Structure 1
Amino acid sequence: MAGSGGTITWNTRFGFLMAAIGSSVGLGNFWRFPYMAGENGGSAFVLIYLACVALIAFPILIAELSVGRHARRSAVGSTRKMAFDAGASEMWSIAGWVAMAGGVMILCFYSVVAGWVAAYVFQMASGAFVNAEPEAVASAFGTLVGDTSTVIGWHTLFMAVTITIVCFGVTKGIERAVTILMPIFFLMLVGLVVYAGVTGDMGAALTYLFTPDFSEVTGQTVIAALGQAFFSIGVGSAIMITYGSYLRRDDNLPQSAGIITGADAMVAIIAGLAIFPFVFAFGLDPAAGAGLFFETLPSVFAQMPGGQWLGTAFFALAFIAALTSSISLLQVIVSFGEEHTDFGRVGSSLFFGAIIFMFGVGAAFSVDGFFDVLDKVSGNILLPLGGLLIAVFTGWVVSKQLMLTELNQASAAFFAYWRFTIRWLAPVAVALIILVGLADMADISLPYFGEPEVATD
């Protein structure tokens, strides 16, 4: 549906919220959050994570939506126009360039991981793991990753679905897809938690996630929670600037941002409630690391009555989460293509989708090389740098009056809270994420923070 001046807008607020929540709810909620909580002390990590969401990710999300809605252009065009309207240098469009580059780079390897998930949906449904020994199930993942032709096949299928949805446009493609997929996602997730409560050790999971022991909190715990909060919401990737450009002027940005961040944090915690009851019921290690997703959990499903279908449902959930995130990442650069080239929507989707597909093929061939480079450069540098630039831009460069105009539905107290966090807390916190990320790339330890963390594992 077109808004004033022919500008595309979301058909409904519900459609926008489903798209924005879908972009935030990705594999990080299923893959990264549970094992990060496991490696960093459980409930203390969860509480610190929630505080970081409220104080860091939430203000930046509001800023990104504001920039997009103000200019109603691509991420690059929006930052350039808002800088012009603020009387600042249009060079501040670098914030849009960096964020867009980070998002595109993520999709190049994210689609490969989504292909692994798709393969597991098929393997679970076919009964390939039924009654298999844990060692055999764990080794199956290594076999899959090493089978490049199979990985590329699933990667091709995933990218084809992503490109097709984006080709249909914002309302007929993305909005229509997410209004179907996200309600299914939430229903399946709740069903999985109920099943986990009946058949697993929910009491142990609740204790683990909600009984904090701050005596074991270290600097590394805080950094891990801060990084998870930043990356799980999806700020710094230009998605929310792009999606914000399709919002109507009367949309309450703080309220929408609150719903998005709240839903994303809720899904991450509920995912923990869907996973940890099985982990504790089978006497497994909650701090098993990234292998918890592709190795430990499948071995649990293999030994459970009905585990074949439970495992299928679990990986189908993860696939939906990956798909709703991937279409948002592709839309970022397609929006740029529509604005700066003569390709049009379909041409931009096919052209940029094909380029991302080819980089994904390279990542599939070199999981320990090119894949790792894409992961670390995007997660450790580009995304946090994009978030930092947006925070500085909206907090220090754009005038207070202009931001008040964009956030005119916010109370004076809320605006004061937002302006303080975006000017002071967010830049310092995101700069710390960048520092730790650079330390990780240099493979060094930082005083008080221990060994560096990979930002997007």
Structure 2
Amino acid sequence: MVNEALKPTAPAAESNQWSSRAGFLMAAIGSAVGLGSIWKFPYEVGENGGGAFLIFYLLGMVLVVIPLLLAEFAIGRRGGGDAVSSLDAVARAARRSPAWAWVAPVALAGGYLILTYYAVIAGMTLDYALSALVTGFAGVDAALSRARFAELVGDPLRLALSQAIFLAATVAIVARGVGGGIERACTVLMPVLFGLVLLLVGYGAVQGGFGAAARFMFEPRMEAVTARTAIEALGLGFFSIGVGLGAMITYAAYTRADIRLVPAAAVIVAGDTALSVLAGLAVFPFVFAHGLDPAEGASLVFVTLPIAFGAITGGNVIGSLFFALLAIAALASAMSLLELLVAPLVQRFGWRRGPAALAAGLAVLAGGVPTLLSFNLWQGVRPLAFLAGWADADLFETIDAAASNLLLPAAGIAFAVFAGHVMPAAMVGRALDLDGRWLRWLMLALRWVVPGAILLFLAAGFF
């Protein structure tokens, strides 16, 4: 007879489940895709060796991201609830200390901090999408583009309004539940997102600069790859896809038993990578066709690209579509982060979903104030000025570092250790429908490869 402690817990109530495998995949890909997938991934690939960098990136996906994603899936499928409840349930079933549930609040804190500043940046994309239609980009040169961006970030009320609109949309969707809210929205938003990317890729191919963009991203340049950039390539997927936040624990808890999670993980990673590559092929033709600098990071989106849009036929429409694309990517990702916060309120404390989503949204809105004001009224505030190496970090950069360089890695290591050492291999295998050498490989990766790799990523960032 099968040990009852090793059986998967019954999934969440049917009313709080994904209605289909496709809906789950769309929501999970949407969670993985974000603003960074549109500009950071293509830039990192192109600037650090093109195809050579991409090889190390894909290796990192196989060695780190997929195993950690499967760890979250196993915890969520076996635990059957939000991140806190799932960790608690799995630890008890494995006859281990329920204190392991305290790992989840670390992940929740990271998700909360990320969402507080994410909503501010996403609000900027909404503002630019509207401005593209109302004001347009015709005649925009470098000086005018910088002035427009400075006008936006220098106005705290305007930033707060766009942030509030973005969060209101996120709250409205999450408040409608898993099937009727998140899944329904993602089954619309993700095809639209891919469609917009493909449309921009096609436009870039016709307008010129496509060949230069493809060479920038894919031509192997081994001389540009150092030991440090190779490590950064291995870790890029971990930091950009968002494994380690616990969102996938919650999403896996909403899956029906007939949804196979191992193939789903492969589809999610492949979908996110494909969208990131297509985004590069959509953005960089504009950059190269107009002699712009692809190495401008965030300013590439808000300062440099408007110059290119102003110089092409139909630039207002193309520009509006591009910033709408960014807003959709941000919204799909923000829904999973908000659900990460809402699920414990609903499942552990008995809140109704609407009030829980509203309370979480208001908390995120308030938490975004330091980031919002770091661009204007609190621009000179340096909270870590007393620490060497952090004297110039403003509030936004400090919050980002706390979430991305501290909480996210800590939770990622803890999830890997939990699934690799606390959960029996048989429990992991039953949750994922996995056995044999593939299960042994996964457990090896979770016990040693993933924690070691994350520590290596952190060390590379500090030295």
**TM-score if structure 2 supplies the norm length?**
0.91
Deviations 1:133-153 (A, max 9, x none): 122113322221111110001
* More off after superposition, 103-112 vs 211-220: 211-220
Q: How does 1:218-233 map to 2 (within 5 A)?
A: 218-233=226-241
- In structure 2, relative to structure 1, the CA distance for the partners of 1:6 and 1:310 (3 Å cut) is closer
Match in the other structure for 1:425 = 449
Match in the other structure for 1:366 = 374
Amino acid at match of 2:209: D
Q: Does 1:376 align with 2:384?
A: no
Match in the other structure for 2:24 = 16
Alignment partner of 2:439 out of 412, 415, 422: 415
Deviations 1:134-175 (A, max 9, x none): 221133222211111100010011111111111111111111
Alignment partner of 1:63 out of 71, 78, 82: 71
Q: Give 1:407 shift.
A: 2.2
Alignment partner of 2:414 out of 377, 384, 389: 389
Q: Give 1:271 shift.
A: 0.6
Deviations 1:226-255 (A, max 9, x none): 332102222011110110110112221110
Distance in structure 2 (CA, Å) of the matches to 1:317 and 1:136 = 23
Distance in structure 1 (CA, Å) of the matches to 2:307 and 2:56 = 31
Match in the other structure for 2:156 = 148
Q: Is the 8 A contact 2:232 2:457 kept in 1?
A: no
Q: Is the 8 A contact 1:111 1:155 kept in 2?
A: yes
Match in the other structure for 1:398 = 423
Amino acid at match of 1:296: T
- In structure 2, relative to structure 1, the CA distance for the partners of 1:389 and 1:61 (3 Å cut) is same
Q: Give 1:98 shift.
A: 1.3
Alignment partner of 2:223 out of 209, 215, 223: 215
Q: Is the 8 A contact 1:200 1:277 kept in 2?
A: yes
Alignment partner of 1:269 out of 256, 273, 277: 277
Q: Is the 8 A contact 1:38 1:289 kept in 2?
A: no
Distance in structure 2 (CA, Å) of the matches to 1:6 and 1:314 = 37
Distance in structure 1 (CA, Å) of the matches to 2:85 and 2:275 = 32
Distance in structure 1 (CA, Å) of the matches to 2:154 and 2:45 = 28
Distance in structure 2 (CA, Å) of the matches to 1:232 and 1:276 = 20
Q: Give 1:411 shift.
A: 5.3
Could you tell me which runs of 5 or more consecutive residues in structure 2 were left unpaired when the two chains were aligned. Answer: 1-9, 380-393
Q: Does 1:133 align with 2:157?
A: no
Q: Give 1:288 shift.
A: 2.5
Q: How does 1:219-258 map to 2 (within 5 A)?
A: 219-258=227-266
Q: Is the 8 A contact 2:80 2:253 kept in 1?
A: yes
Amino acid at match of 1:248: R
Distance in structure 1 (CA, Å) of the matches to 2:423 and 2:42 = 38
Match in the other structure for 2:60 = 52
Q: How does 1:15-34 map to 2 (within 5 A)?
A: 15-34=23-42
Q: Is the 8 A contact 1:7 1:72 kept in 2?
A: no
* More off after superposition, 313-322 vs 135-144: 135-144
2:95 aligns to what SS in structure 1? coil
Q: Is the 8 A contact 1:9 1:247 kept in 2?
A: yes
Distance in structure 1 (CA, Å) of the matches to 2:267 and 2:427 = 24
Q: Is the 8 A contact 1:68 1:75 kept in 2?
A: yes
Q: Is the 8 A contact 1:237 1:383 kept in 2?
A: yes
Match in the other structure for 2:6 = none
Match in the other structure for 2:358 = 350
Alignment partner of 1:92 out of 88, 93, 100: 100
1:73 aligns to what SS in structure 2? coil
Deviations 1:390-423 (A, max 9, x none): 1111112211111121122x35232233222222
- In structure 2, relative to structure 1, the CA distance for the partners of 1:189 and 1:5 (3 Å cut) is closer
Q: How does 1:167-206 map to 2 (within 5 A)?
A: 167-206=175-214
Distance in structure 1 (CA, Å) of the matches to 2:422 and 2:11 = 29
Q: Is the 8 A contact 1:44 1:212 kept in 2?
A: yes
Amino acid at match of 1:237: L
Q: Is the 8 A contact 1:138 1:299 kept in 2?
A: no
Q: Does 1:102 align with 2:114?
A: no
Distance in structure 1 (CA, Å) of the matches to 2:11 and 2:78 = 14
1:35 aligns to what SS in structure 2? helix
1:32 aligns to what SS in structure 2? helix
Deviations 1:26-81 (A, max 9, x none): 10101321232343233322221121112111110011011111111110111111
Distance in structure 2 (CA, Å) of the matches to 1:82 and 1:220 = 37
Q: Is the 8 A contact 1:239 1:328 kept in 2?
A: yes
- In structure 2, relative to structure 1, the CA distance for the partners of 1:406 and 1:106 (3 Å cut) is same
Amino acid at match of 2:459: L
Amino acid at match of 1:359: G
Distance in structure 1 (CA, Å) of the matches to 2:95 and 2:403 = 30
Q: Does 1:309 align with 2:313?
A: no
Q: Is the 8 A contact 2:26 2:187 kept in 1?
A: yes
Match in the other structure for 2:384 = none
Q: Does 1:435 align with 2:459?
A: yes
RMSD: 1.7
Match in the other structure for 1:165 = 173
Count of aligned residue pairs for this structure pair: 437
**TM-score if structure 1 supplies the norm length?**
0.92
Alignment partner of 2:297 out of 284, 289, 301: 289
Deviations 1:331-364 (A, max 9, x none): 0110011122242211111111111111112321
Q: Give 1:178 shift.
A: 0.8
* More off after superposition, 40-49 vs 4-13: 4-13
Q: Structure 1 vs Structure 2: percent identity of aligned residues? A: 41
